[in-house]
Chains A and B, each alone.
Chain A
C-alpha cells in the first residue's frame, strides 16, 4: 500500500499526520513560518525531508538551506534526501572555501540543491555573513529550540528575514522566541492521541517499564570516591564554577576508565610548558577553561596522582558486575531474541564495558560519534538483524538514530538532564515498537561521602522524566 506516496507526490511513504503537514505547507503559500512541534520519534525528520524534496521538485531552481544540530544528522539528512533523488550536499568549511574560490560561481550560494550544514558552522562569522547575502526560498531549521544564546538567535532572526518560507522543528514544546512575529507564524503540534497509522488506527506504543538497579560500592571504590571528593572540594573552593567538580564526579560514577581518561587529560595539560596548565582541571568542551593558581594546580595534581594509584589497585568494579548480572539474566536465546542497548556518556566507558560484555558470548556491537556513517549504519543493521548487545554513547542518540526494536535499554550512566532522557527515549520508544521497552538505570546505593545527594537528585529527575514510578 502506498496511497500516501501518491497523495504527496513523493516516493517515500508518510503517515497521515506527516502527509497532512506536507499538504498544509504546500496548500498555504502565504503561511510564512511554520513551526512543527512533536516529541522525538513522531517522524519530524521524514516530514522535513518530504517538504524539501517536494519543494525542489516544484521549484527546481530554489535555494534551500537546512540547519541541523550535529554532524551525524547532517550526513543523515543528506543521505535521506539523496535517497529521494533530491540534490543535497553537506556543507563544511572545506566546501565553503571551495565555493568561494570557484572560478565559475561568483553568485554565492547555489540553487537547485539542499545545502545542509550544522548550526555551529552557520554561526561562524564569515559563513553567517555569507548566508546573509542570499535570499533563501526555503529555510529548514531542525531542533530550533536549541537556538538559545544571543548569537544563535541573531542568526535565526537574520536568516528568517531573508527567507520566503521557513520551517522550524522542535522536540520539546517551547515558547516562540521573539524572533517570530505571531501573525506570520503557524504552530503545528503533534500529540500522541491525535496520531493514527495507515489503517486509521491510533498510533500507540506499549507502556514502558522502568527499573532502578542499585549497586553497592566496595571499600576500595568508596576510598576512590573519597579521594575524588577532596579534588572536588578543591575545585569548588574559590571562584570556580559549580559544574566543574560535577564533571569529575560524573566520570567517577561512570567507570574507572572514564575517570582515568579525565586524569590523563588533566595530566597532559599540566605537563604543557605554557600557561595552558591552568585549564587542566576544567574541560574545554563542557566547562570552558578556568583560571587556577599554581598552588591549586599543584595540590590538584597530587590528588590526581593518588586517584590513578587507587584506580590501579581496584580489583573489582561493582557497577560493571551488576551490569554483567543484568545482561546474563536477560537470557538471550534463539527462542526469545533480545536486543539490549547499553548507554554511557563516555567513549572510554563504552570500550570498558564492551571489553567485559564480549566475554559473555553474546553478539556485541558498538556505536559512538567518531565512527563513520557507514560503520554506524553497519552496527545498527547487524544489531537489528541478529540481536545481542549494542553499547552506545548517549551523545549519538541526538543524531537521528532510530532503534524501535530494542527490548531492553540500560542507562549505564544516568543523564543529568530530564530533557536528554526524553530525547534518548524518543530513539527507542517510537512508532514501530510492538513490545514494551524495559528501561534499567544503574545507581549507587551506598553513600560516597557527600556525593550521593547529587546522585539521588539525578535519579529522581530521571524517574520523573520517565513519567512513572520505577520498580525496584
Chain B
C-alpha cells in the first residue's frame, strides 16, 4: 500500500512536499473554488426542521451539514426535506402527532460525497450535478461545502478579466481607426513608436501588430492628441492614465505575475464601460467586421 503523501510544505522540507505545495498554488483545484471567507454553518441532528430552515433562510443557503461532536452525519436540504415529506401519507403525518417542522433534522438527511481540497475540480462534476453540492474534508473533519454557484463565481472570476481585456483592446483599436484615417495611421505610428523600436522603419504600422503599450503611446502622445481628442474626449492625460492603468493590469494578467484583485476587476470594468460609451458616442462609421 502506498504511503500517504503529505500535501503541505510545512510538514517537512522534502522536494516532494514542495512540489505538491507548488501544485496547489499553480493549479485550479478545489481549494481555490471554495469561497475564501466561507464560514461553515452546521446544525446538530436533534435540532428541529423549523430551526434548520430558519437558519438556512437567514444565510441564504439551501443546504446545511448536520454535525454531532465534529462527526458529519449528512446534509439537511430543502430537497431532502421535500423528498421525505412528499413520500409520507396524510395518515402517517397524522400518526406522528407533530408538524413536519417539529421533527428533528436527522429524519431528513441525505448523503453528500466528500472531496479533498487538493483534488481536481473535474473530479466532483458528477457529484455536484447529482447532489447540488459537495462536502470538503472528511466525515471527521469538515472543512467546507462547495456548491455549483461557487463553481460559477470562481470560473467567472478567473475568466472575466481576460474577456474584458479583449473587449478593451478591440474597442481601442476600433476607436483609433475612427480617429485616424488608415492612410495617416502608418505615418503617425512610425513617428509615435520610433523611439520604442529604435527607428521609424522598425516600428509596427498595423494595429494588429502593435502591443497595448503601443496603443497607449499612440493615443497619448502630445503631438497626435488633437487627432484623438474628438473620439476620446477629456484631456490627454486622463485618457493616457486610463490606458496606462489597464496596460499594467493586462501585463500582470497575461504574464501571470499575480492574482487579479477586486479593485483590478473594478478598474477593468470601469474602463471597459468608458470605452463602450466612446464607441457609442462615436457612432461608428466602421464596417461591421471592423467593430469589436
Please tell me if the beta carbons of B31 and A98 are within 8 angstroms of each other in the complex.
yes
Q: How far is the CB of A57 from chain B (nearest CB, A)?
A: 16
Please tell me if the beta carbons of A312 and B233 are within 8 angstroms of each other in the complex.
yes
Within 8 Å CB of B266, what residues of A? 264-265, 268
CB-nearest residue of chain B to A349: B241
Please tell me if the beta carbons of A104 and B4 are within 8 angstroms of each other in the complex.
yes
Question: A20 at interface (Cβ–Cβ under 8 A)?
Answer: no
Please tell me if the beta carbons of A348 and B241 are within 8 angstroms of each other in the complex.
yes
Please tell me if the beta carbons of A103 and B7 are within 8 angstroms of each other in the complex.
yes
Within 8 Å CB of B233, what residues of A? 312
Stretch among B36-44, B68-76, B91-99 lining the A interface: B36-44
Assuming the A-B contacts A101-B118, A101-B136, are A124 and B252 also in contact, with contact meaning beta carbons closer than 8 angstroms in the complex?
no
Question: B257 at interface (Cβ–Cβ under 8 A)?
Answer: yes
Within 8 Å CB of A256, what residues of B? 238
CB-nearest residue of chain A to B20: A98
Q: Within the complex, which residue of B40, B137, B240, B267 is in contact with A101, where a contact is CB–CB below 8 Å?
A: B137
Q: How far is the CA of A348 from the CA of B241 in the complex (A)?
A: 8
Within 8 Å CB of A95, what residues of B? 8, 10
CB-nearest residue of chain B to A271: B273
Q: Which among A100, A101, A102, A311 has the greatest number of chain B C-beta atoms within 10 A? A: A101
Q: How far is the CA of A80 from the CA of B256 in the complex (A)?
A: 24
Stretch among A47-55, A193-201, A353-361, A457-465 lining the B interface: A353-361
Within 8 Å CB of A307, what residues of B? none
Q: How far is the CB of B67 from chain A (nearest CB, A)?
A: 14
Question: A110 at interface (Cβ–Cβ under 8 A)?
Answer: yes
CB-nearest residue of chain B to A102: B8
Within 8 Å CB of A105, what residues of B? 6, 8, 11
Within 8 Å CB of B263, what residues of A? 347, 370
Q: How far is the CA of A371 from the CA of B9 in the complex (A)?
A: 25
Please tell me if the beta carbons of A370 and B141 are within 8 angstroms of each other in the complex.
no
CB-nearest residue of chain B to A97: B117
Please tell me if the beta carbons of A261 and B270 are within 8 angstroms of each other in the complex.
yes
Q: How far is the CB of B138 from chain A (nearest CB, A)?
A: 8
Work out how many contacts link A and B, with CB atoms closer than 8 A: 126
Interface string of A85-123 (1 = CB under 8 A from B): 001010001110111111111000010010100000000
Interface string of A354-393 (1 = CB under 8 A from B): 1110010000001000111011000000000000000000
Stretch among A7-15, A23-31, A155-163, A314-322 lining the B interface: A314-322
Q: How far is the CB of A91 from chain B (nearest CB, A)?
A: 9
Q: How far is the CA of A375 from the CA of B255 in the complex (A)?
A: 12
Question: B133 at interface (Cβ–Cβ under 8 A)?
Answer: no
Please tell me if the beta carbons of A264 and B270 are within 8 angstroms of each other in the complex.
yes
407-450 of chain A: CB within 8 A of chain B: none
Please tell me if the beta carbons of B258 and A104 are within 8 angstroms of each other in the complex.
no
Question: B32 at interface (Cβ–Cβ under 8 A)?
Answer: yes
CB-nearest residue of chain B to A98: B8
Question: B222 at interface (Cβ–Cβ under 8 A)?
Answer: yes
Please tell me if the beta carbons of B245 and A89 are within 8 angstroms of each other in the complex.
no
Q: Within the complex, which residue of B32, B34, B244, B264 is in contact with A370, where a contact is CB–CB below 8 Å?
A: B264
Q: How far is the CB of A275 from chain B (nearest CB, A)?
A: 13
Within 8 Å CB of A93, what residues of B? 36-37
Q: How far is the CA of A69 from the CA of B24 in the complex (A)?
A: 25
Q: Which among B40, B137, B234, B241 has the greatest number of chain A C-beta atoms within 10 A? A: B241
Question: B13 at interface (Cβ–Cβ under 8 A)?
Answer: yes
Question: A126 at interface (Cβ–Cβ under 8 A)?
Answer: yes
Within 8 Å CB of A340, what residues of B? none
Within 8 Å CB of A366, what residues of B? 248
Interface string of A196-213 (1 = CB under 8 A from B): 000000000000000000
Within 8 Å CB of A103, what residues of B? 4-7
* A–B pairs, 11, beta carbons within 8 Å: A95-B10, A97-B34, A98-B31, A100-B137, A268-B269, A311-B234, A315-B235, A351-B245, A354-B241, A356-B240, A372-B252
Interchain residue pairs A-B with the least CB separation, the first 5: A355-B240, A352-B241, A264-B270, A351-B245, A372-B258
Please give 9 more A-B residue pairs, beta carbons under 8 A apart, in addition to A351-B245, A370-B252: A94-B32, A95-B10, A97-B144, A110-B10, A264-B266, A311-B238, A348-B267, A355-B244, A370-B263
Chain A residues packing against B (C-beta within 8 Å): 87, 89, 93-95, 97-105, 110, 113, 115, 124-126, 256-257, 260-261, 264-265, 268, 311-312, 314-317, 320, 347-348, 351-352, 354-356, 359, 366, 370-372, 374-375
